[in-house]
Each structure stands twice: as structure tokens, then as C-alpha cells.
Structure 1
Amino acid sequence: MTTENKIIVTVDALILRLRNNKHEILMIKRSEKCRAFPGALALCGGKVDVGEDPEHGMVRELKEETSLDATNEMSVVCVRGAPDRDPRGHYLSICYNVALKDPNQIPVAGSDAGEVMYVPLTDILEEKHKLAFDHLVIVQQYAKWIIKMGIVESIL
């Protein structure tokens, strides 16, 4: 059952790096104060403001949650909008592959992010962590997408 009677547009960032011969994806650990999925890992993202372009919303949310600066180079990986994907209401998420201005910048948690960290992509795909919402499905789609797009040859 949803708590809101409208569709809310959100954005999620898919940020990949190669560290110590392993692909890692940027995740946040949701604050224990969050209404939905407290303490679970999630992609960085959030609601698009009224009158805001989703790509600008992506840049803003990434900065708010991680202090990281995105470039304007981003590609839509998928759009997720199942009515039951979020217990708070009907949320439609545009999921972007995002490049960082400084890939070596250290993320710092902010807003509703309890922690921010890079997690081995294989750990996510092997379901070693509890993920919020439908973020496991999004990461699974992303793994296929980065191979299809030639970003990586295989998942390390």
C-alpha cells in the first residue's frame, strides 16, 4: 500500500571504479533514522525537485549525500517504476551511470547517508549485503550494461 497518491521522480547514481583489481560501486548505508530500509545499503540518489532537470537533480543529490562532484557526462542505464518498489509511495527512478570530476576524491557522508563507501561489485551481485528498494535489480542491470557498452570486459 502506498502512502502518496502521485508518482515521485527520483534519481540513482551508478558510479564504478577499479581498485586493487576489483570493480567497486559507490553505495551509501542508509541512516537508522530513515523510514524505509534503515541501515541497508543503497545507491546514492533522491527526489528530483519540482522544476529541476533530473540530471541536475542527480548532480545535486550526489553532492548532498557524498560530497562528490559529478561531471555532466552521464547516461541512463535503466528506469525503474514498479508501484511497490518503495513502501513510502510510487517512486519512479532514473538510474544514471555517472562520472566523477575527480575519481580520487574521498566521499564524505551527508544528509540521510549514515556512511558512504565503495563496495566490491561482486559482493553486491553475490548478495552479500542487504540492499534497499530494488537496488539489487538495478545493480544487476548495471553489470550487464557496463559489459554491453564496453566499459568493462568482465566483472572483476
Structure 2
Amino acid sequence: MLKSVKRLWQFAQTVLGIIFRHPVTGVSVVPILPDGQIILVRRRDNGKWALPGGMVDWGEDIPTAMRRELLEETGLELVKMGRLVGVYSAPDRDSRIHSICILVEAEVQGTVKIQDELEISEVKAFSRESIPSKDNLSHDYARQIQDYLEGRTTLA
């Protein structure tokens, strides 16, 4: 009996290791308003600014995840996808989990209204010159925003 329980536990550990030891795919959006301002969201978990985005749901493609996350976090609608800014995969880019983030520029419109108040505390438009400093940006968003502003396409 003890051997079979031990084998079952080893099997469970192996399966869980396979499932949970793979990066999770996420999306982030550089939302550009018609006046050229960039929308950022303030995260509730750390009080820092970030680009809107999140995990891609099962059965969802990247454009659909972008539209959903943008709407949930800002209330804005995606009008037109722009360029692929980058793919960010460093294991330490997010302290919570190893995630791969696909960053895409997008033209947006609508009225700002936070849908996901558990995750987001504020939504604000910034000119390129007034984007918060690196210390006030969450995760690796300073790099992502810099890559966008400098016109780079990054695979990191």
C-alpha cells in the first residue's frame, strides 16, 4: 500500500512538473489614442504603472486576447493593430511566474472605464514625454515602452 501511494505521488509530481514548468503566454498592448497619447494602467498589486495586458486564455488567439484585456483594463476598444513591438521571455521579467509577453501597438478609441477593478486602480493617458520613470513602472514595462518609443522590434 505504501509503495503504491509513493508511486502515485511520484507520478503526480511528474505530471504537475510538466504542466507547471512551462511559461505562460501573455499579451500587452501599447494603446495609442487618436491624439497620440499612450494609455497606461496602475496595477493594484504593486501600485506601479503598466501597459494593459494579461494572459491568453485557453482557446483564444493573440488578437482576441489583446481586445479582451484592453477592454477589461481600460474600457477602450481596439481600432487597428499596429506593429509587433516585441516578444519578451526572460524568466525573471515577472516575479510571479515565468511568462512570455507579446507586445503589440494598437490604435484605440472609446471612453476610459476600468472593468477589472480587482486588478487595476487607475487608467491614465500620457504624452511620450510624461511617461512615468522606470522606478514607477511594473515588471519589464520600462524596457517594453523604450523599445516601442525607439521603434525597435525586440526578441528577448
Structure-1-length-normalised TM-score = 0.76
| Aligned AA (2:137) | L
Contact 2:81 2:104 in 1 (8 A): no
Change (3 A) 1:128 1:83: closer
Match of 1:108 among 99, 104, 113: 113
Matched, 1:88 2:93: no
| Aligned AA (1:108) | K
Matched, 1:42 2:50: yes
Match of 1:98 among 100, 106, 118: 106
| Aligned AA (2:82) | M
| Aligned AA (1:24) | Q
| Aligned AA (1:83) | P
After superposition, the C-alpha distances for 1:110-130 in whole angstroms (9 at most, x for unaligned) are: 2111111112222337x2760
More helix by share: 2
Identity across the alignment (%)? 30
SS at structure 2 position matched to 1:140: helix
Matched, 1:134 2:140: yes
What is the number of residues matched between the two proteins? 132
Q: Distance in 1 between matches of 2:134 and 2:88?
A: 23
SS at structure 1 position matched to 2:53: strand
Contact 1:78 1:94 in 2 (8 A): yes
After superposition, the C-alpha distances for 1:29-73 in whole angstroms (9 at most, x for unaligned) are: 111xx2xxx100000000000121011100010011111110253
Match of 1:52 among 57, 60, 69: 60
Structure 2: which 5+ residue stretches go unaligned?
A: 1-19
> Where do 4+ consecutive residues of structure 1 move more than 3 Å?
none
Contact 1:124 1:136 in 2 (8 A): no
Larger radius of gyration between Structure 1 and Structure 2: 2
Q: Distance in 2 between matches of 1:128 and 1:80?
A: 17
Structure 1: which 5+ residue stretches go unaligned?
A: 149-156
SS at structure 1 position matched to 2:107: strand
Q: Distance in 1 between matches of 2:34 and 2:80?
A: 21
